[in-house]
Structure 1
Amino acid sequence: MIIIESKRKKTENILKKYPNAIIADVTSQAKDGLIKLSPFYPYGCIPIPFSKGYTAYSVEGIWQGLKVFENEDIDTSVFYNDTMKGIKRTVRKHGRVLGHRKGVHGTEILDYVEAKHQIYIPTYRWMLEHKAMDIIKRLRKASETTTIILLDYNICDDVDSETKPLSHAYLVKAYAEGLYPFDDLSSSMTTDNKEYSHK
């Protein structure tokens, strides 16, 4: 069994609720190999949806780079941030968010929910399948006999929420359990992209 809990909760309180569970931090603050499940992890060569020939270091880099603000369009430099820091682009700095551009050269601006459906969810799935399947297989096997608690800062599992960020831990759980959302949208991802060099 796999359960999502907030990283902000005290470990002892989680274990009171789930005795003998294994607690697995999958955030960018993880101290072990599970940090590789963080959307901030810089794998490199992750295809950018609807952007043939373009790749990025991380899922979060794609999400933030394609974001369109009131005072600034997309920022391709974010695609090449491999530090796990300084990736987020904020309203305070750039103004109100208008949406996410559907591809580097796309003309359509997706709203928050559609951007999750068409950009974030398929990109994170591509990362799991091409970069982190060894972790997923171990997690799937362990969860057959042990309760696994995945820690995330966001625990929202509503992919259609218009206000709350989607928990990537939920996507890990969903994939491990064979319940990953929007399988039919994976066609926007291509695996033959050549790495695009930022100059």
Structure 2
Amino acid sequence: MPIHIASRRRSAASLATAHPGARIIDVTSKGPQPWVRMSPFYPHGHIPVPLSGDAVAQSVEGIWQALKVFGDHDVDTRKLEVVSMTGLKRTVRKYGPVLGHRAGLGGEELLPYEEARRRIFLLLDYTVNGDVTDTTSALSHAALIRLYVTNQWPSA
């Protein structure tokens, strides 16, 4: 059974035309139960923060946003505790250009984007980018789910 990845921004009619008879499963933070649990925003709780000893977070997105470093703003540990699935994003519009992601909460090293994806996030879904090496757009967690269930998971 093929698995297609589509943006949540597409209309139901557009998806039905492109993929007749397909079952549409929304794995974003706006999706229904139980599929919303696939969203990186979902607060599963007790998720180990990579490269950070015993530190844990509520969600994968909380980890990604907490470790993001901007020109004038370093890590933000408050993002690790967010359970509402909102208020997680730390954007370039507000904080300026991203310098990288901290290699752990107390880490000295700043990881470039692709390496951060591999070391922190590889386990975001308004995009369809399933290529970890393509840093021109956000990484699609739905595409990662497809890679996993079709046994095409990228090596770290």
TM bin, normalised by shorter chain, reads over 0.9
Any idea what SS the aligned residue of 1:68 has? Answer: strand
Amino acid at match of 1:27: T
Q: How many residues align?
A: 154
Partner of 2:153: 180
Following superposition of structure 1 onto structure 2, how do residues 18-167 of structure 1 map, counting pairs within 5 Å?
18-121=19-122, 125=123, 152-167=125-140
Identify the structure with the greater helix proportion. 1
Instruction: Provide structure 2 residue ranges, at least 5 long, that are not aligned to the other structure.
Output: none
Give, in angstroms, the shift of residue 49 of structure 1: 0.7
Larger C-alpha radius of gyration, 1 or 2?
A: 1
* 4+ aligned runs moved over 4 Å, structure 1: none
Give, in angstroms, the shift of residue 170 of structure 1: 0.5
For CA contacts below 8 A with separation 6 or more, give which structure has more relative contact order: 1
RMSD: 1.1
CA distance in 2, matches of 1:35, 1:180: 21
Partner of 1:171: 144
Partner of 1:5: 6
CA distance in 2, matches of 1:166, 1:18: 22
Amino acid at match of 2:38: L
Any idea what SS the aligned residue of 1:25 has? Answer: coil
Identify the structure with the greater strand proportion. 1
